[in-house]
Amino acid sequence: MSNEASDRLKHNSEKIMRMWEKRARDQVGASTHQDSLVLQDSLPLYLNQLVDELSNRIVRTSARITADEVESTRIGKLHGHERAGYADYSMSQLIFEYQLLRQVIFQVLEEEAPLEVRDRDIIIGSIEQAVNDAATQFSETLRDIQELFMVTLSHDLRNPINVVKMGTQLILRRLERGDTHRDVAARMLRAIDRLDSMIQNLLDASRLRAGQSLKIEFEECDFVMLVQEVVEDLSFAYGERFVVVSDSDMRTFCSRKEIRRVIENLAINAVKYGAPSTPITLTLQQTETQIGLTIHNEGEPIALDAQSILFQQFRRTICAEEQTGWGLGLFLAKSIIEAHKGTLAVESAEGKGTSFIITLSKILL
């Protein structure tokens, strides 16, 4: 075995990644929900290892062989773990990605000359092992997600149900005494609203997992007024921390209900994870064709590795683990914005706080 195939693969790795990503975007439906298909460098890591496997410059001691097998398994599991976090990724799509990768590798490497039989066997064997590792981790991650979901479901649903139950009992006792029960009724209504929101999140997540689109009805929307309405409502619960910055009229076609849901989710997250008692700024901007909303909070930044899983379902960053919730909010927010043909992105850095940026198409007057 020569080093020719190894050298060709090393030289063409970037080309292989670009070709594979293009084919995956064209042929794998679930890829439409991702900014990049090369998640957490799993594909570059895999190609680098395959370069070493094809090379005869490396002395393959038993220790080196064992280390390579461990690293190969780690890379495959990384890919499977990441794919399991997306709503409509299935096992068949995961496997199909590797089939596309094999096609691209052979196509690129054989543009100059046919591969030797041993080189082809090494590539095929490596990809088959990667498929097995990724599929195994994909199944294990889905199982862990389901277990976590069931535990969280039983815990989170029980809380508002208990509020309604105890509130009803208290109202009955107060009615017997002729006391006022306005505050109790308001607390019960908030609990019911929370239950309704949680159930809606579950229904939407299940719909997306099944490959269905969200049901959204579009209408002309005064975006500035919508943001101001959300801020007024949130100020009752969280105080006067919200600052709206806008100097012009902005209109778009959207679902007021769903866009309101996104803004509320991002603003409440800013309260939960931002520095206490600091302003939360909602800045509205526009270009000739687009309108944008940036929701910014001060505080500790979101780590780069955590940013990569922010918009995945049932996935939570370390800083979010102490907060209640199912890890569905940002996933659904991004899905709603994408259903509006818009984008939702995050920027977070030390000393600059965290910003979530919504971009939508503008009504051209």
How buried is 86 (Cβ within 10 angstroms: 0-12 exposed, 13-18 middle, 19+ buried)?
Answer: buried
Look at the chain and count its residues: 365
Quick one: pLDDT at residue 107?
92
Is the confidence at residue 120, as pLDDT, over 80? yes
Most confident stretch, 30-34, 258-262, 302-306: 258-262
pLDDT confidence of 1, banded at 50, 70, 90? very low
0.85 exceeded by the pTM?
no
Q: What is the pLDDT of residue 355?
A: 95
Give the tens place of pLDDT for each residue, 248-261. 889 999 998 889 88
- Say what the pLDDT of residue 212 is: 58
Residue 63 pLDDT: 63
- Asked whether residue 339 carries a pLDDT value surpassing 90, the answer given is no
Per the prediction, the chain carries an average pLDDT of: 78
129 vs 143: which has the higher pLDDT: 129
Higher pLDDT, 263 or 190: 263
- Report the alpha-carbon distance of residue 6 to residue 15 in Å, rounded: 15
pLDDT-derived band at 327 (thresholds 50, 70, 90) equals low
Q: Does the structure show a pLDDT above 80 at 330? A: yes
Residue with tokens 């990605």: 97
Which pLDDT does position 281 carry in this prediction? 95
Higher pLDDT, 279 or 206: 279
Q: What is the pLDDT of residue 324?
A: 46
Span 55-66, pLDDT tens digits: 765 555 566 556
Percent of the chain with pLDDT strictly greater than 90? 20
Q: State mean pLDDT over 326-338.
A: 79
Confidence class for position 270, pLDDT limits 50, 70, 90: very high
**Mean local confidence (pLDDT), 256-270:** 90
pLDDT reported for residue 89? 72
